[in-house]
Amino acid sequence: MRLLSQDIAVIQYGGGGDWYSNPTALPNLITFCNDHINTTISKKPKVVQPNSLDLFDYPFVHMTGHGNVFFTDEDADNLRNYLLSGGFLHIDDNYGMDPYLRKELVKIFPNKKLIELSKDHSLFKQPYPFALGLPKIHEHNRNKPQAFAIYVEERIVLLYTFESDLGDGWENSEVHNDPPEIRLKALQMGANIINYVFLN
């Protein structure tokens, strides 16, 4: 993998889902991390196709959306190779992508399952402590927020945050009118994810 810098990219997946939702989320998270946890991430995230070799330029890629997700066989093969070679994929369900996403993840890792992280996982401990695990940012179905992972050996290669809506909390304050304490909680949890990938 050509890890030339601490850069982040957004995956432009197929299937018609709104991969482009939450446009201010990642820039705000990047600014927060650069200001508070000493990262040097490029301020504007790039957009990358799941079947592109450019994927390998980014140690961290992000997916979000509300609807359908579809990976071709070429997409799945490239994503698998990317993750096995050291890459990290964070998927944040913006509400509605879950039933589509789960069947597509089987294409990437047919023999692996999503494993729910306990509240005691290191992801929830540093640099910001979350004693209850993944925080709830937006309410949809009154379900608890859950963080799922796919491991390769002992390393998380894919993190799926569900029923939390972190990305909405990363957006500009006027987008959802979240109170400052909710936005801060979302940004701090995002910083923990970035810390896990870049600084561990």
Please give the full DSSP string across 112-148, using - where no structure is assigned: ---EEPPTTSGGGTSSS--TTSSPP-S-SSSPPPEEE
Residue predicted with more confidence, 106 or 140: 106
Tokens representing 66?
């509300």
Average pLDDT on 33-44 reads 93
What does the DSSP 8-state code read for residue 84?
Answer: H
Burial class, 91, CB count within 10 angstroms (exposed 0-12 / middle 13-18 / buried 19+): buried
Rounded Cα distance, 168 and 24, in Å = 9
Sequence-ordered strand ranges (E) for 12-152: 46-48, 60-65, 88-93, 115-116, 146-152
Q: How far, CA to CA in Å, does 4 sit from each of 83, 132, 153, 157, 195?
A: 17, 35, 25, 19, 17
pLDDT in tens, 184-196: 999 999 999 999 9
**Taking residues 171-180, what's their average pLDDT?**
81
Q: Where in the chain are the domains?
A: 8-198
- Residue 131 has a pLDDT of 96
pTM attached to this predicted model: 0.94
In the predicted model, is pLDDT for residue 102 greater than 90? yes
Helix, strand and coil content of the chain, in percent to the nearest 5, comes to: 35, 20, 45
Fold of 8-198: Rossmann fold (3.40.50)
Element (H, E) at 197: helix 180-198
